[in-house]
Copies of this chain bind each other. A is one copy, B any other.
Amino acid sequence: MNADIINHVSQIESKLRLDSVTIQSINEALDNNIDQAKELLNNLHFADIADLIDNATLEHKRKIIEIISVSITPEAIALIIKELDTSVMEQVIPMLGEACAQIFALMEIDDAIHVLEHLPEAKQNKIISLLPQEKRYAIREGLSYPENTAGRIMNCDLISIGADWTIAKTIDFLRSNSSVPFDFYEIYVVDDNLHPIGSILVSRVIKSPETEVISTLMNKDIHTVSPFTDQEEVGYLFRQYGLVSAPVIDRDGKLIGMITIDEIVDVIEEEAEEDIMRLAGVNEIDLHAAVLHTVKHRFPWLFINLLTACMTSFVIDMFHDTIHQMVTLAAIMPIVASMGGNAGTQTLAVIVRAIANRDLNMVNNSRIIFKQVFSNCLNGLFLAILGGAILLLWSHDFHLSLIFALAVIINFTMAGFLGAFIPLTLSRIGIDPATASGVFLTALTDIIGFVAFLGLARYFLI
């Protein structure tokens, strides 16, 4: 049954799907039969062509650009370019040659900004200088706002009406005014000072009687943002309040732009992904980046890890004599460290996301930390019993097993505390709580695990 449905669904889809088979055939066609490649590319959705370019070798990238430059419209090329992976843009845009200016002129302002902000400044300026004056001005303004702010993703083509307008007047205005764009979901209501005071969905404009006045129909619960608002904050507002769009206002409170939910889908994805990468000590997603770029961006956290690991090593070396007297300790100590690290990472992941979702605040901080400590302490107890039993069976040394169990409980409890405390503290002092919390956390759980285990062993066993 399920297979039936899937077959049916794929039959309905007019476009070719970008699966492995398709990619394989396109790759072969690019090498041997350019006409066939052209036909295959013509059947792909522009977003899929962008994916294809992202993943292609340099030679194939060039061939694909050559083909699409003659076979599809500049409007469609503009759509493809904006969907490229940001690390690929810099490589591909010079391949467009003379057509470059025309393509950028056809992009929406926010899309053009998205592409330009990933190019080196010289290239950025060159392209901007070739654009029509109005676009040039709008793009320069967008780029004047800091990266990852609302100003970079807002759309300036917005529609505003008066609160005293009737539905009839509103519909008339929307139909007759040529500056009103074709695609929008929500219209803003502004007062005499152009301050937004409400919003109304287009569908409600259509559904309401013609004589009704906007002020009685509009939604007054609007959530304005400044162009300087961080895009993460904007994403939060959309999720928290179920927004379809948000008005952007300037310093005087005047409406200057809007952000729509389709922009925010990418922001939300990006921000969650950023947390994954930061927790793993990766500065940015570097799948399509050059090897040297990847190496350079991953190095700093590995270097910090080298330093923290040296500290750990130094700590272990303080127990040189203890280990010498009982080498088995050296074999067992990584269990204590590794389990503490994993238990701490579990807490860390939960807390980092809770902070991102604004589920934590000053008021419940201590309760949350306590709960994490208590949960980890309990799991530590269970695993200490299990691990202690395994060790007892293996070594037949009751005291060793007992000390192992104690060290596990200590490390788990501390891991729970640190897994919550580190991100909460980073967040309070204004540092992204995901930033390499993982590296510091595991360094600490390593050290605590080794010291607890070797310390107890020196004191009680030797």
A residues neighboring B (CB under 8 Å): 1-2, 4-6, 8-9, 12-15, 19-20, 23-24, 27, 45, 47-48, 51, 54-55, 85, 171, 174-175, 180-185, 195-196, 201-207, 220-221, 223-226, 228-229, 238-242, 244, 249, 251, 253, 261-262, 264-266, 268-269, 272-273, 275-277, 279-282, 285-288, 291-292, 294-295, 298-299, 301-303, 305-306, 308-310, 312-314, 316-317, 320, 323-324, 327-328, 330-335, 337-339, 341-343, 345-346, 348-354, 358-359, 361-364, 368, 371, 374-375, 378-379, 382-383, 386-387, 390, 438-439, 442-443, 446, 450
Contact = CB atoms under 8 A, between A and B. Distances in A.
Contacts of A47: 240-242
Given A295-B378, A368-B287, A346 B240 contact: no
B309 A277 contact: no
Contacts of A244: 185, 262
Contacts of A287: 350-351, 354, 359, 368
Contacts of A308: 338
Given A185-B185, A294-B371, A302-B379, 4 more contacts: A54-B359, A286-B350, A288-B359, A317-B331
A141 to B, nearest CB: 16
Contacts of A181: 203
Given A9-B225, A20-B363, A276-B353, A342 B305 contact: yes
Contacts of A294: 371, 375
Contact of A375 (B202, B226, B291): B291
A221 B303 contact: no
Given A6-B226, A185-B185, A282-B349, A221 B14 contact: yes
Given A182-B207, A244-B262, A346-B281, A45 B221 contact: yes
B204 A206 contact: no
9 contacts: A5-B251, A23-B363, A24-B363, A47-B241, A175-B206, A295-B375, A302-B346, A306-B335, A338-B446
Nearest to A294: B375
Interface centre among A183, A207, A220, A368 (most CB of B within 10 A): A207
Q: Can you list the 10 inter-chain pairs with the closest CB atoms, starting with the nearest?
A: A272-B272, A280-B349, A330-B330, A20-B362, A309-B335, A317-B331, A316-B331, A5-B226, A294-B375, A309-B338
Contacts of A361: 19-20, 23, 55
Given A338-B442, A349-B279, A353-B276, A183 B201 contact: yes
A342 to B, nearest CB: 5
Taken together, the copies of this chain in the complex come to 2
A251 B281 contact: no
Contact of A323 (B55, B277, B323): B323
Contacts of A19: 361
A375 B9 contact: no
Nearest to A23: B363
A174 B203 CA distance: 9
Contacts of A345: 280-281, 438
A27 B314 CA distance: 48
A374 B253 CA distance: 53
B306 A317 contact: no
B175 A204 contact: no
Contacts of A301: 342, 346
A12 B45 CA distance: 42
A276 B349 contact: yes
Contacts of A264: 265
A204 B182 contact: yes
Contacts of A350: 277, 280, 282, 285-287
A346 B314 CA distance: 25
B242 A262 contact: yes
Contacts of A310: 335, 387, 390
Given A330-B323, A345-B280, A371-B291, A379 B298 contact: yes
